[in-house]
Structure 1
Amino acid sequence: MDLQLLAALVLGIGAIVFVVLRTRLDAFIALLIAALLTGFVAGAPVTGVLDSIIEGFGSTMGAIGIVIGLGVGIGKILEVSGAADALARAFVRALGKGKEPWAMTGTGALVSIPVFCDSGYVIMNPLARSIARRKGSGYVTLALALGCGMTLTHHLVPPTPGPLGVAGILETNVGGMILAGLVVVLPLIPVVVIYAKWIGPKLEGQLAPAVREEVYGTAATRTGETVPAGSSGSADSPVEETPEEPPRRMKAWVAFLPLLVPLLLIVVNTVATAVDRNAQGVLSGDEYEPTALVGVLAFVGDPVVALLIGIVLAVYVLLPRRTTRGQVSEWLSQAAASAGLIILITGAGGAFGQVLRDTGVGDALATTIASWHIPGVLVPFLIATLVRLAQGSGTVAMITAASVTAPLVAGLGISPLAAAIACCAGSMVFSYFNDSYFWVVTRFTGLDGVAAIRGWSGITTAVWLGSLPMVLLAGAVL
């Protein structure tokens, strides 16, 4: 690879890591600085670099910006309406006694599809505490299972903003991304449960005393076990603190509608279009005229239309009739505020990728990597892994990996969908001190120091490692 182009790429990625870790600036600014630096070092004219940044940002936002905004809006309504809580309790009831870690993992995976991990964990953690209090043990297992279940879909399944951004940058079908992401998530759920059940009892005795008191209502014994509050039946037994009730209780199927309907519409569109293309003998990339029925499905199954339907359902099905327009506007404004930076980061990632294309850095890197004796799908996986370890944010890691990979896809001999899955899976590795979600989970769980790393960093690394065979399979079959 030409040394000038190699230097451009190394300095660009290095700039992202340095700006995020060592300055007061965020990842949006870091990606734009990286795009400028890469273009200049690669020898592109100043105006050409700026044109590439504008083109890449605009095309990415046109593909995915509206979808991210609508997706986080649905998540906010699920949060404030109590629908997320209803789904969690339904999982616990359905799986039954003794299957609580499975219920917590499934709950986390489902709730985190539209709801950001950080807020979703805060909402669902009281349920994990309530179950542990009734059992008198097992809080660490449940808390880790819940948190890592959220990690799975947060990293792999749209309409979570990160995977949506990757799909936009790599120009892959969102419906296909949903299906492929779910296929990868399903075999990782047992990995989460097994690790949580293995490490949880080992760390139960290392709970922070304050958290132990909040969860169990009693002090810890010398062995780290607890006696459930009020188990003696005496009148002076400590009174259990019950989690705050949601604003409204509802049936689980009602709570699931605003999420299920859009996902089904998107997936049906993807499947129907693929079947129709095959029936007509039209190859991918060729001009294609859908039949009337498939055309209707393509319209309602477009991510923008599907999520628009979802947010209307959320507002009119989940919220009480007395809810005012002002309240809904305030909640959606809060959702937009939380999504704003993610949208900008996604657009800046698209800009960085466009610079890599236009300067020839991407082509040169693809040619070099093609000579290596590793499967092409491992390239985006390893890029995402390294960026995640360097700067902590899974979203920034997958967006950066997608930006670098976008110009390489053809040269690597993999599909955009396989590359997207690899970017997302690679970004799950070893969540630790430079990841904000690390602090959310470990503080609520009551773990610190080595115990926090063994519990949370360990479980995220376990699912990262468990995803590797699925990534290789995606590279082979997609």
Structure 2
Amino acid sequence: MDIQLLLALVLGIATIIILVLRTRLDAFVALLIAALVTGLVAGQAPLEIVSAITTGFGNTLASIGIVIGLGVGIGKILEVSGAANALALAFLKLFGKGREPWAMASVGSLVSIPVFCDSGYVIMNPLARSIARVKRAGYITLALALGCGMTLTHHMVPPTPGPLAVAGILGTDLGALILAGLAFTIILLPVVVFYAKWIGPKIEPGMSETIRETVYGRAATHQHGRTTTALADHDDHASGDTAARAIGATGPSEDSEYGSTIDFDSSELGTPPAGAKPHKVGAFVASLPLVVPLILIILNTVSGAIDQSNQGVVGTGEYEPSAWAVPLAFIGNPVVALVIGVILAVYVLLPRWTPRSKVQGWFADAAASAGLILLITGAGGALGQVLRSSGVGDALAEAIAATALPAFLVPFLIATLVRIAQGSGTVAMITAASVTAPLVTSIGVDPLIAALACTAGSMVFSYFNDSYFWVVTRFSGLEGTAALKGWSGITTAVWAGSIPLLFIANAILG
């Protein structure tokens, strides 16, 4: 590998780490400085670096910016209407006390099969917050379990775009890849849950006070020393009761095991007219702003996969929707689907007497909370674009492909290093598949194993140049080393867990 490109990568990563961990500069500024350093060391012209930064920033926000804005709007309405509490209680009853991390990891993995991680996490995060608020503890554990559950299927199970493209490039049977990806996901889910339960209580004391107050309320923030004590005891069957007792919650009945913590004060919704019934949102109605957009997005994904298969253009990048698929592609686009979700949230979850000024104020609050997330997410995309345009990813891939490794580890390591270099799991797995495709026959790798290696390798060490890193860590309030231990650590744990599975699969199919 060209020493100049290697030095650019090392210095770029070092710049981010030093600025984020050791200076008073925000991650947004640190990412932009790292992009400048990387481009200059790699030998790019200064104006080309600036162009790459603006292009990467714009492209990233074009794909995820509107979704984040709409998603946080839905989340705010779920919160103020009492719908999030209703959903949280329904989830707790469905999965049982002490199994909340399993619930969030499982739900996340199901949602992320057809939905991009960023969009799915924004949509589902209010549930993690509400469950943590009901339990009065464990938000970081739930946030990590949800996020990494999504990572598994997003990287490994078609019809998510990345694995779908890998199957087309390598000529892998799509049905076989779906089954194998699901098998890997099921086996790796315990890794997600156990890591989240292990690291969550250790790093939750370091979450930002703003997020702590948003999740637990002002009282819990003021008592966060005792809340931390409760977090230390996270036994499967006792954590809910221990956390609730630690901050003085009551639990009057077995049927309502979290007791008064599920109560909702509807006075903020406005003054009801005389004779109006008290405002109450059931779990089914509460789920509509979440479920309807997800169903629309799923229908778009499934119809697109079927249409591509019928046209014979899977993974070629030449797909144009057929006439019958266009309406589903329109309403199932994440932007349109979430606009529908916002409309449902306002007109289904809120009572008719809620003043317009209150609703607009809630959306303003939501937009303010999303602002920094959008800036940091865009800066991460800018850095990724500079890394791509500098040729670092391609150079790494070629260097690994030239080494004498066990055949099926070649695509795995290519995907791993490209992911570390430029942040996008989808780009990493597609790059690995593209480099490996001419080699599959000659190096004796089954196309299915090669596809699994590409997708599994791309999960490694999500960090500063990955936009999803910033979505998860900013929504969960993790910063600095806590973010690395939590999110970067859990993604690396599932990456490591996939290695023995690849050896076993290769022994069976090789």
Does the TM-score normalized on the shorter chain lie above 0.5?
Answer: yes
In the TM superposition, what are the counterparts of 1:360-375 in structure 2 within 5 Å?
A: 360-372=391-403, 373=405, 374-375=409-410
Instruction: Kindly report which structure 2 residues correspond to 1:422-437, keeping only aligned pairs within 5 A, or say none.
Output: 426-427=461-462
Question: Structure 1 298/461 Cα, relative in aligned 2: closer, same or farther at 3 Å?
Answer: same
Residue of structure 2 in register with 1:449 after alignment: none
Matches of 1:469 and 1:297 in 2, distance apart?
37
2:121 aligned residue: 113
Counterpart secondary structure, 2:55: helix
Matches within 5 A, 1:126-141: 126-128=133-135
- Corresponding residue for 2:443? none
Equivalent in the alignment of 2:306: 275
- Closer/same/farther in 2, CA of residues 105 and 334 from structure 1, 3 Å limit: farther
- Cα RMSD of the aligned pairs, angstroms, is 5.1
Q: Which runs of 5+ in 1 are unaligned?
A: 130-142, 159-166, 201-206, 216-224, 234-239, 388-398, 441-451
The code of the aligned residue for 2:349 comes to L
Distance 2:42 2:228 in 1: 56
After TM superposition, give the deviation of residue 359 of structure 1 in Å.
Answer: 2.4
Contact residue 105 and residue 147 of structure 1 kept, 8 A? no
Q: Which amino acid aligns with 2:343?
A: V
- Given that 2:52 and 2:382 are in contact with CA atoms closer than 8 Å, whether structure 1 keeps it comes out as yes
By how many angstroms is 1:416 displaced?
A: 11
- Residues in 2 aligned to 1:195 and 1:169: alpha-carbon distance in whole angstroms: 25
- In the other structure, the counterpart of 2:213 is none
**What's the CA shift for 1:47?**
1.2
Distance 1:322 1:420 in 2: 50
Closer, same or farther in 2 for the Cα pair 1:472/1:362, shift >3 Å?
farther
Measured after TM superposition, the shift of residue 379 of structure 1 is 5.7
What whole-Å deviation, never above 9, does each CA across 1:261-296 have from its counterpart, x for those lacking one? 111111111111111121122343354443322111
Percent identity, please: 43
User: What residue number does 1:21 align with?
Assistant: 21
What displacement does 1:438 show? 8.5
Unmatched 5+ stretches in structure 2: 109-119, 152-159, 167-173, 201-222, 232-240, 253-257, 267-278, 438-449, 464-468
1:6-31 deviation line (CA, Å, top 9, x unaligned): 11111011111111001111222111
| 1:60 to partner: Cα distance | 2.0
Classify the secondary structure of the residue corresponding to 1:243. Answer: helix
What letter matches 1:153 in structure 2?
A: L
Encode CA deviations 1:299-336: one digit per residue, 9 max, x unaligned: 11111111111111111111222222222222222222
User: SS in structure 2 opposite 1:292?
Assistant: coil
Of 242, 245, 262, which residue of structure 1 is paired with 2:263?
245
Q: Which moved more, 1:49-58 or 1:462-471?
A: 462-471
Separation in structure 1 between the aligned mates of residue 415 and residue 293 of structure 2, nearest angstrom: 29
Query: Kindly tell me: are residues 54 and 79 of structure 1, through their superposed partners in 2, closer, same or farther at Cα, counting changes over 3 Å?
Result: same
Tell me how far apart the structure 1 counterparts of residues 492 and 122 of structure 2 sit (CA, whole Å).
21
Please list the CA deviations of residues 441-465 of structure 1 after superposition, one character each: whole Å capped at 9, or x if unmatched. Answer: xxxxxxxxxxx9xxx9799967853
Matched, 1:258 2:289: yes
Per-residue CA deviations over 1:15-65 (Å, capped at 9, x if unaligned) read 111110011112221111111111111111111211221222222222221
Please give the residue correspondences for 1:11-410 in structure 2 after superposition, counting only pairs within 5 Å.
Answer: 11-95=11-95, 99-103=96-100, 105-106=102-103, 113-114=121-122, 123-128=130-135, 143-144=137-138, 147-155=140-148, 157=150, 190=190, 210-211=226-227, 242-243=260-261, 245-246=263-264, 247=266, 249-285=280-316, 287-372=318-403, 373=405, 374-377=409-412, 400=423, 405=428, 408-409=431-432
Residues 1:45 and 1:267: Cα distance change in structure 2 (over 3 Å): same
- Pair 369,378 (structure 1): closer, same or farther in 2 beyond 3 Å: closer
Pick closer, same or farther for the CA change 1:66–1:185 going to 2, 3 Å: farther
**C-alpha distance in 2 between matches for 1:362 and 1:194:** 32
Q: Distance in 1 between matches of 2:190 and 2:35?
A: 40
- Displacement after TM superposition at 1:427 (Å): 3.6
The verdict on how the C-alpha distance between 1:289 and 1:169 changes in structure 2, with shifts beyond 3 A counting, is closer
State the AA in 2 paired with 1:465: A
Measure how far apart 1:472 and its partner are. Answer: 8.7
Letter in 2 for 1:285: T
